[in-house]
Structure 1
Amino acid sequence: MLSYERLITLEGAHNVRDLGGYQTSNGGPTRWRSILRGDALHRLSEADIETLLDNGLATVIDLRNANEIAAEANPFAGHARVRYYNTPLFSALAPVEMMANAVASFDMGDRYCQAIDNCQPAIAKVLKTIADAPDGAVLFHCSAGKDRTGVISALLLANADVDEATIVEDYALTATISGPLIARLRERALGRGTTPELVDIVLASEPRSMRQALDHIRRRHGGVEAYLSTLGLDETEREKLRNRLA
């Protein structure tokens, strides 16, 4: 039996990891090297790109907006062996600074809840792209591989019948494995004049943030299955997503 590492070691990215190997309610683990989540890819070396191709990469979904991509281009845009898609995910939301000022107890979980409610067309497009992707690994990513990527990962794992505690643990991994990435993002944010307090909130991967998002889906939308149905994913598409991880 092949043995896989969850974190794919790369020179130019620090948070590219696998959604495989998680136990589901039916007892089987999720499939390795089928769906990957990640941070920005613009620093990837040629060796990094070959590593991902060797791991079966066939589809990349970039969740960043046009300004982010213009500043840090995706190396897979136009790549001969990889299908590349760009679906900006949080564009329907107010800037974090405005959201934080509006809520005294602001937590990134608040942003995830707003994304779940207000970014449904983009979320649906990402999930449908994954469901319809050709054979090979699908990698979706944003800048830190934590927030936009975290929402999509949680929905995929929940749809595959992975329990909530495991979904939260997967989300929180960013805090323990992405030290260089978080340090670089922190320095850049402080350089733009963002307050240290807000930087700490934005870059944290607190388990309570993902628990809040999952609880919001359950309370407001009737659970993940009902939420995906609301997005316009029928049972066939939901099953295709499950099969990606089965």
Structure 2
Amino acid sequence: MATSKADLVKLAETDVKSALQPEQYGPVVSSPPFVFVDGTFNTRDLGLVPESPMRANYAFRSGAVSNLTDNGKAVLTGKLGVKRIFDLRSPEERSRMPDPVIDGVENTWIQSSSPDSKPDLDTFIAGEGEAGYENMYLEVIEIYSESWKAILEHVRDRPDDPFLVHCTAGRDRTGIFSGLLLALAGASEDAIVTDWQLTRIGTEPVRAMLLEFAKKGTNASSDDQPGFYNLVSLRKSCWQAFVKGVEKKYGGFENFVMDKLGFSQDDLAKIKKNLTSA
């Protein structure tokens, strides 16, 4: 049974300094919009996010899939019907934790145009970290543009082939693309932010590992280093700052898709249709 939107948002807005207990997050991550796939975490169906206009059982997102069990593979290919996995990680991340080879599933990875920069924690100190998030996410949307293009081509050309997008945490790179998909499908800002913030719950089973990953990725000496707390939080104001940055730089997500990625109006119409109706 799906948890109500109000309860999901309340749990997702729990201060990141406070660990969620298994009895709090366990029932949530095993019911819609989350999907339990053994060996993954933060896995969910974008069509089941509260108030999502996207159709269910088509676009999935998750954290790393390198630890998929045989049962998890069976769920992925059977229950979910996933035909293609898009990996948004760096070469170094992939070498440490390679994606599994699964019969009937196509693995796609396209190297970003440049390596991810280390986030500058100083830019996350002011307010809730809005400036840091805007800078970080605008870089990500730019350097992963070839990956975004490939996934949108899949949506345009293969509406009958469910797919899954992941990075390491299924948080930032995957979260940006999920927000882009939801926006193209016509989702409200509230629905998009809800999906983005649900990662606070979905990553809790691997909390310690991801905090360590974030420290290494920023050279933070401790959890208390100024800016780090804002970086590892997921607040609505930070997503809004990113969206404003996209509007200022590209004229919004749709213009980004057409002007930066090269899709036509007809392509965009087909993508929207395939995201919202079978």
Does structure 1 residue 57 correspond to structure 2 residue 82? Answer: yes
Structure 1 length normalisation: TM-score? 0.84
Does structure 1 residue 12 correspond to structure 2 residue 39? Answer: yes
What displacement does 1:89 show?
Answer: 4.6
After superposing on structure 2, the runs of 4+ consecutive aligned residues of structure 1 that deviate more than 6 Å are none
**How far apart, CA to CA, are the structure 1 residues paired with 2:62 and 2:113?**
16
| Structure 1: gaps of 5 or more residues | none
What displacement does 1:52 show?
Answer: 1.0
- Cα offsets for 1:90-144 (capped at 9, x unmatched): 8454222xx3346754533321123234543443333324433462211010011
Identity %: 25
Instruction: Please state whether the residue corresponding to 1:140 is helix, strand or coil.
Output: strand
Match in the other structure for 2:206: 181
**How far apart, CA to CA, are the structure 1 residues paired with 2:199 and 2:132?**
16
**How far apart, CA to CA, are the structure 1 residues paired with 2:166 and 2:72?**
15
Would you say the 8 A contact 1:40–1:142 is kept in 2?
yes
**How far apart, CA to CA, are the structure 2 residues paired with 1:150 and 1:51?**
22
**How far apart, CA to CA, are the structure 2 residues paired with 1:90 and 1:166?**
30
Would you say the 8 A contact 1:42–1:75 is kept in 2?
yes
**How far apart, CA to CA, are the structure 2 residues paired with 1:67 and 1:92?**
10
Q: Which range moves more in the overlay, 196-205 or 58-67?
A: 196-205
What displacement does 1:180 show?
Answer: 1.5
- Cα offsets for 1:130-182 (capped at 9, x unmatched): 43346221101001111000111111111111111110111000112321123
**How far apart, CA to CA, are the structure 2 residues paired with 1:191 and 1:184?**
11
Instruction: Please state whether the residue corresponding to 1:229 is helix, strand or coil.
Output: helix
Does structure 1 residue 205 correspond to structure 2 residue 234? Answer: yes
The 3 A distance-change label for structure 1 pair 84 and 132 is: farther
| Structure 2: gaps of 5 or more residues | 1-30
Q: Kindly report which structure 2 residues correspond to 1:1-246, keeping only aligned pairs within 5 A, or say none.
A: 5-21=32-48, 22-23=50-51, 29-54=53-78, 55-76=80-101, 79-89=102-112, 91-96=114-119, 99-101=120-122, 105=126, 107-133=132-158, 135-190=160-215, 194-195=220-221, 196=223, 197=225, 199-230=228-259, 231-246=261-276
Aligned residues: 235
Instruction: Please state whether the residue corresponding to 2:83 is helix, strand or coil.
Output: strand
Instruction: Please state whether the residue corresponding to 2:108 is helix, strand or coil.
Output: strand
**How far apart, CA to CA, are the structure 2 residues paired with 1:32 and 1:236?**
23
What displacement does 1:61 show?
Answer: 0.3
What displacement does 1:202 show?
Answer: 3.9
